[in-house]
C-alpha cells in the first residue's frame, strides 16, 4: 500500500488506485499524509478543510470522514503495512512509514540530489543546440 499526493490523492493498493472519497475526505487524508506520525489538531484540520466557516456540526462531519478513511484502510489491510489512523483527545495522527507517500519520497530524492551542475546543458540530440535553461533533460 502506498499513497499518492502528487496529482490526484489516491490510495495505491495491490488491486489498483482507490480514491479516498469526496473532496473533503481526500483533503483530510492529504492533510494527515503531509504530516505523518504527527498529531494534527481538530482545530487545524477544521481550519484547513473549511476555510470560510465550518458546518454547524463540523466535529461530527470530521469524525464521519475519519471513520470512513479507517474503513478504507482496513479494507486494504493497512495494518500489514504499519499504517494506522490514530485518535488523540483533540487530534488525529496518521501513523505510518513516510516512505509510503510519494511526496515524501520526492522530497527525499531532491535532498539527495547533487543540485545544479556546473556543467553546461547537454546539447539536443536532433540539432546540437543546448537546451534552454530550465527545460529538457540534463
Write down the pTM of the prediction: 0.80
pLDDT in tens, the chain (138 residues): 999 999 999 999 999 999 999 999 999 999 999 999 999 999 999 999 998 899 999 999 999 999 999 999 999 999 999 999 999 999 999 999 999 999 999 999 888 887 776 565 566 666 656 555 544 444
The answer to whether residue 13 is domain-embedded is yes
| All residues at 6 or more sequence positions from 14 whose CB lies less than 8 Å from its CB, including other chains | 1, 76
The sheet carrying 10-13 orders its strands as 2-4, 10-13, 16-18
Domain presence at residue 36: yes
Instruction: Give the domain CATH number at 44.
Output: 1.10.10.10
Residue 135 belongs to some domain of the structure: no
Does 132 map to a domain? no
| Counted domains in the chain | 1
For residue 100, give the nearest of 18, 30, 27, 1 by alpha carbon: 1
For 14, the domain range is 2-99
Within-domain flag for 109: no
Amino acid at each position: 500500500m502506498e499513497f499518492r499526493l502528487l496529482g490526484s490523492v489516491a490510495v495505491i493498493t495491490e488491486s489498483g488506485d482507490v480514491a479516498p472519497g469526496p473532496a473533503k475526505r481526500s483533503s483530510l487524508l492529504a492533510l494527515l499524509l503531509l504530516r505523518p506520525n504527527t498529531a494534527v489538531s481538530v482545530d487545524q484540520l477544521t481550519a484547513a478543510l473549511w476555510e470560510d466557516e465550518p458546518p454547524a456540526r463540523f466535529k461530527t462531519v470530521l469524525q464521519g470522514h475519519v471513520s470512513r478513511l479507517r474503513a478504507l484502510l482496513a479494507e486494504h489491510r493497512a495494518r500489514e503495512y504499519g499504517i494506522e489512523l490514530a485518535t488523540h483527545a483533540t487530534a488525529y495522527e496518521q501513523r505510518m512509514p513516510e516512505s509510503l507517500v510519494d511526496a515524501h519520497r520526492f522530497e527525499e530524492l531532491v535532498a539527495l540530489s547533487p543540485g545544479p551542475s556546473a556543467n553546461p546543458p547537454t546539447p539536443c540530440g536532433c540539432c546540437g543546440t543546448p537546451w534552454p535553461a530550465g527545460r529538457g533533460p540534463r
